[in-house]
Structure 1
Amino acid sequence: MDIKYQPDRESEQSQEKGTVLALEHLDDHNLSKAERVHQVEVAIASPEVTLESFAHLDIKKILWKVDLRLIPTLTLLYLLSFLDRGNIGNAKIEGLAEDLGLTGAQYNWCLTAFFFTYCVFEVPSNMMLKKLRPSIWLPTIMVAWGIVMTLMGLVKSYHGLLAARIFLGIAEAGLFPGVVYYNTMWYCRYEVQVRQAIFFSAASVAGAFSGLLAYGISYMDGVGGLAGWRWIFILEGILTTVVACMAYFTIYDFPETASFLTTEERAFLAFRLKYDGQDATTDQSFRVAQNDHRDWKTVRAAFCDWQIWINIVVYWGYVCPLYGISLFLPTIIKELGFLSTTAQLLTVPIYVSASAITIAVAFAADRLRIRSPFIVGGLVFQLIGFSMCLSSSNAGVTYAGIFIAACAIYPCQPSNITWMSNNLAGSYKRAVGMGIQISVGNLAGAMASNFYRAADKPRYKLGHALEIGFITAGLIAASILIVSYRTVNAKRERAMANAEHNGYTPAELSDLGDKAITFRYTL
């Protein structure tokens, strides 16, 4: 967190002591959530309250309390989300295509249809999250996709599977962008990537778990007169629905209303989040809160922000390979000459390794307060991995290339979404902006679902070549962003040196958000 206030300690010491005492004795036991929010907002709006007012609190202890309540639940939700959208790849090699009489093109259309509705509903879902609260919205959409997933195990034809995938995309659309945004409402800019990485590592764990689960469920073939691939959908759908019902009672909304925190701790978290992102040194009387306007002007500002659209190309650079891996990895490995059960198991070490590397990279990125070098590094290693796959017909080399590529893909996602969230100021603009980034970015899934055609097996040269093309585009876009951010930051440094910020009121700087000369883009 980069809040560099310089209060006059001698003149404010007595005021702060009184403020701390007032915060310590706030009583909100019988207040509603709305009244708690108002109470905290009033408390932290006082000019007497500074970061020093909370100096006696142990921030590590408070964040640990938050982590224990948030991260396990969010990780489980995303694990189930990724498991449910990707298990069609496991079902395919257990006989789905043969039983439904699917052609290669029809199977790919079932993959593609998911992403169309998934992308369309992500931005509206993030706006609904702000309106309905996370504790209601997230479990509700999860119940919906759990039901869809369960019913997918009963489909009888191509059209039934296609319809189920379309509705699965609608239901799942809100989880990933919603949780990514939700984390930014609890953690400051240089704390959030570790949490995003732990949460996102569930995607790679889901890949490993999916292979193991599919391996075990495949032995249920014939139970109840149903094929093994149907049981994959049914059992995983039921599990999702049960966990979703539990989530209504385990998801907390926002720091201001968290019952597991004291009133003073809630005020502290709210205060540091409110002023997070103003990197330039200003005096206490000129502190600038983040803009939280909820109007069409803010929505328009997000849609017109150049950095979001360039970042989307970076997003495509690793999400195309991500979905190519998650949807086709079992098939690719099977075509190398392995049995279907062996292919399921060979996906496990790839995903476990990717998960560990993702978390390690996140710790380093938050500690160093940088994002782009890890994104660029990940893209470069993806190029190496897919180049190995493209250039060799040897099964061992191809498997090694996929291994390297996967381990480089997964760390890029939390790095890039955190990079974007760091560089959007104002919680409502951030909600819309990240919704745009993730929704348009995930159109890559619609493209990647058609990269690996049955006609190209076993080498899949076209698919690997297309992945390399998108990775290269991502590297170019990341370079453009880095140069642009450096240029803007240097320009704002010069403006601050000339005291140009004195020509703005705090309210005006708040309205400018990340366009304010006091804001510094994270590199």
Structure 2
Amino acid sequence: MGVDEKTAVPPSKGEETSASASLNALDPEVQGWDELGTRRLLAKLDWHILPIMSIIYLLCFLDRTNIGNARLDNLEADLGLGGLQYNDCLAILFPFYIAAEIPSNMMMKRFRPSVWLTFIMVCWSAVMVGQGFVKNYAGLMATRVLLGAFEGGLFPGVNYYITQWYCRHECGFRMALFFSAATLAGAFGGILARGIAEMAGVGGLPAWAWIFILEGLLSILVSFSAYWIIHDYPATAKFLTEDERAEVKRRLRADHGHLLDDFNMKYVWQVLGDWKVYIHMLICMAGFCPIYSFSLFLPTIIKNMGYTANNAQLMSVPPYVCACFFTITASWFADRLRQRGVFLLGFQLVAVAGFAMLAATGDASVQYAGTVLAAIGIFPQIPLGLAWNSGNTGGSSLKRATAIAMQVMGGNCGGIVASYVYLSRDGPRYVRGHSILIGFVSMAFVLTLAMTAWCRRENARRDASPGFGGAAALAAGPLGLTDEQKLLERDRADRVPWFRYTV
């Protein structure tokens, strides 16, 4: 499956694009890199890329979901929220979050990641601090709108950014390491909220206000250093030597199959016409809906099991810790085996079991075990699904960036639904909400099963089809074509003879 794993990097000025240079770039012996050297290079990339991205996303997810912790410290009563107004404040974030995703990924392609990611981080951090000073429903709604608009570009942007450094079969594990920050944000948020609760009355502000202010200030401090820490692309990475930069670009070219990679809006239209992307959008929506429901309402659910508010904050930590472990471990194995669908199917079944335990009984210990299983089942689905979609989107990196943004857009449509899954009138058991999430995860299971079957069948058809050159074309890849044939094939993306889908 090695030749079907690909990614791309924007070519630098004056970069050699001739057929002869391409052939040399594909030959590892020309470069003299062995397996040990490659592992050391990947470790160096990991150390310089993943920590800052994980920290930024941890803070982003924390700022987006800490309203669930603030709710336990009298947010609704102090702002006079009633009826569905709290749920409205949750939901209003997502339309603006969704609207920002494709434009933001296009900005990531057009401009430097260090500039764009730093800009949106400074903006959402300032909004989070301001949210601590709101006085009513209208003020909270306004800050949530701005928070969605500025945070919307981060998640799809970083996932696209990762594909600019690593080959396709290496991206899933890295995406999981990055996304695991969301689980750590849930754990860290509960502990932090418990400590901040002791600041109630300081400066005349309630505890929920200090949750927003202090966590926003923490994000601002990190954003001030992000510009200097984020490395844009391999061609300009100062932490790499000349030989290392050349090897990273060589690996990406070889993995990419030398398909065309210019900035052209036709690639956006290609994605809009690709039915597979819409299936991944639905799978992602069915994954993000329970994740957001879980993150926004877990403290409330645990409190309704009979725990005090402070203990509920702390009891929300273990499910996230378990989810973090399984998110990273599953993606590591998925990269090693170069499989996505089968892992998704397994975790979807675990998630259904967890929500079924929550819905079926009022026993607190069984319900709490259900929250742990639900967390283990839902969080790994996102990095697995993103790696699956991005890896099977051929052609320009702009096309892949758009496909990732669309997938995350679909996912965040699930966030709108998630805001209304757990309604106060359904407490303390929330059987209806748990049942809704079982339905969403079950839909994801059916779609994942269908997509896995299609990818396997299509690969088999291409292996047997003379038009795709069969196994010979797969083995030869772009090296099996003449220069004239390469020019004709470069823009065909995943329809080229040597492309095989990851299943």
Question: Which of the five TM-score ranges fits, normalised by the shorter chain?
Answer: over 0.9
Q: 2:340 aligns with which of 356, 363, 371?
A: 371
CA drift at 1:272: 1.3
Residue 208 (structure 1) aligned with residue 167 (structure 2):
no
Which residue, 401, 421, 424 being the options, matches 1:454? 424
Residue number in structure 1 paired with 2:321:
352
Distance 1:499 1:183, change over 3 A: closer
Instruction: Give the alignment's Cα RMSD to 1 decimal.
Output: 1.8
Q: Distance in 2 between matches of 1:229 and 1:479?
A: 43
Give the aligned residue type for 2:243: E
SS at match of 1:38: coil
Local SS of the residue matching 2:343: helix
One-letter amino acid of the counterpart of residue 155, structure 1: V
Counterpart amino acid of 2:64?
Answer: R
Cross-structure match for 1:239: 218
Q: CA deviation at 1:40?
A: 5.1
1: distance between equivalents of 2:450 and 2:22?
41
Per-residue deviation, 1:55: 2.7
CA–CA distance in structure 2, aligned partners of residues 151 and 193 of structure 1: 36
Work out whether 1:187 is the aligned partner of 2:166. Answer: yes
**1:327 aligned to which of 267, 289, 296:** 296
Moved more, 375-384 or 45-54: 45-54
Q: Secondary structure of the residue that 1:190 maps to in structure 2?
A: helix
**Structure 2 counterpart of 1:468:** 438
Structure 2: which 5+ runs fail to align? 5-9, 474-479
Instruction: Note the C-alpha offset of 1:373.
Output: 1.0
**Residues 1:66 and 1:498: Cα distance change in structure 2 (over 3 Å):** closer
- Cα deviation, 1:235-280, whole Å, max 9, x if unaligned, reads 0011101101100100000111111111221111112112315xxx
Rounded Cα–Cα distance in structure 1 between residues aligned with 2:390 and 2:404: 7
Query: Which residue is 2:109 aligned to?
Result: 130
How far off its partner does 1:192 sit?
1.1
CA apart distance, 1:502: 6.2
Q: 1:95 aligns with which of 74, 81, 89?
A: 74
Unaligned runs of 5+ in 1: 5-33, 278-287
- Cα distance in 2, alignment partners of residues 472 and 54 from structure 1: 48
Q: Distance in 2 between matches of 1:507 and 1:275?
A: 16
C-alpha spacing 1:271/1:498, structure 2 compared with 1 (3 Å): closer
Q: What does residue 365 of structure 2 align with?
A: 396
Q: Which residue of 2 aligns with 1:115?
A: 94
Please name the residue that 2:29 is paired with. Answer: 52
Shift of 1:451: 0.4
CA distance in 2, matches of 1:94, 1:497: 63
What is the aligned partner in structure 2 of residue 2 from structure 1? 2
Distance in 1 of aligned mates of 2:66 and 2:148: 14
- Please state whether the residue corresponding to 1:477 is helix, strand or coil: helix
Aligned to 2:277: 308
Q: Which amino acid aligns with 1:174?
A: G
The 1:41–1:195 alpha-carbon spacing in structure 2 relative to 1, beyond 3 Å, is: farther
Shift of 1:499: 7.1
Q: Is the 8 A contact 1:317 1:475 kept in 2?
A: no
Q: Structure 1 counterpart of 2:416, which letter?
A: A
State the 1:353 CA deviation. Answer: 1.1
Distance apart, 1:337 and its partner CA: 1.1
Other structure's SS at 2:167 match = coil
Distance 2:12 2:240 in 1: 13
Equivalent residues of 1:290, 1:513 under 8 A apart: yes
What is the distance in 2 between the residues matched to 1:236 and 1:126?
26
* Equivalent pair of 2:173/2:328 in contact (CA under 8 Å): yes
1:317–1:379 contact (8 Å) kept in structure 2: no
- CA apart distance, 1:100: 0.2
Q: Is the 8 A contact 2:62 2:189 kept in 1?
A: yes
1:62-95 Cα offsets, whole Å, 9 max, x none, are 1111111101100000000000000000000101
Per mean C-alpha deviation after superposition, the further-off stretch among 392-401 and 77-86 is 392-401
| 2:470 pairs with 1:491 | no
Contact 1:378 1:409 in 2 (8 A): yes
SS at match of 1:45: helix
CA contact (8 A) 2:352 2:374 kept: yes
CA distance change for structure 1 residues 478 and 46 in 2, over 3 Å: closer, same or farther?
Answer: closer
Assess if the C-alpha contact under 8 Å between 2:68 and 2:299 holds in 1. yes
**Which residue of 13, 16, 19 maps to 1:38?**
13
Q: 1:397 to 1:295 in 2, by over 3 A?
A: same
* Higher alpha-carbon deviation: 51-60 or 221-230: 51-60
Instruction: Determine the C-alpha separation between the residues in 1 that align with 2:171 and 2:471.
Output: 33
In 1, distance between residues paired with 2:146 and 2:355? 32
Equivalent position of 1:64 in the other structure: 43
- Which of these two proteins has the greater Rg computed from alpha carbons? 1
Q: CA deviation at 1:39?
A: 5.4
Give the number of aligned pairs: 483
CA positional deviation for 1:37: 2.5
Counterpart CA distance in 2 for 1:347 and 1:412 is: 20
Q: Which runs of 4+ in 1 moved over 4 A?
A: 39-44, 498-504
Matches of 1:403 and 1:46 in 2, distance apart? 49
Determine the C-alpha separation between the residues in 2 that align with 1:419 and 1:475.
Answer: 15
Encode CA deviations 1:349-381: one digit per residue, 9 max, x unaligned: 111111011111111111111111111111000
SS of the equivalent of 1:121 reads helix
1:163 corresponding residue in structure 2? 142
- Give the letter for the 2:404 counterpart: M
In structure 2, what is the Cα distance between the partners aligned to 1:505 and 1:40?
21
Equivalences for residues 252-271 of structure 1 within 5 A: 252-271=231-250
TM-score, scaled relative to structure 2 = 0.93
Tell me which residue corresponds to 2:121. 142
Q: Which amino acid aligns with 1:384?
A: A
Task: Classify 1:223/1:297 alpha carbon distance in 2 versus 1 (closer, same or farther; 3 Å).
Answer: same
Q: Equivalents in 2 of 1:307, 1:142: separation in Å?
A: 32
CA contact (8 A) 1:276 1:290 kept: no
TM norm structure 1: 0.89
1:83 corresponds to which residue? 62
Identity of aligned residues (%): 43
Q: Aligned partners of 1:436, 1:419: CA distance in 2, in Å?
A: 14
Which residue identity is paired with 1:203?
A
- Give the Cα–Cα distance (whole angstroms) in 2 for the partners of residues 123 and 258 of structure 1: 26
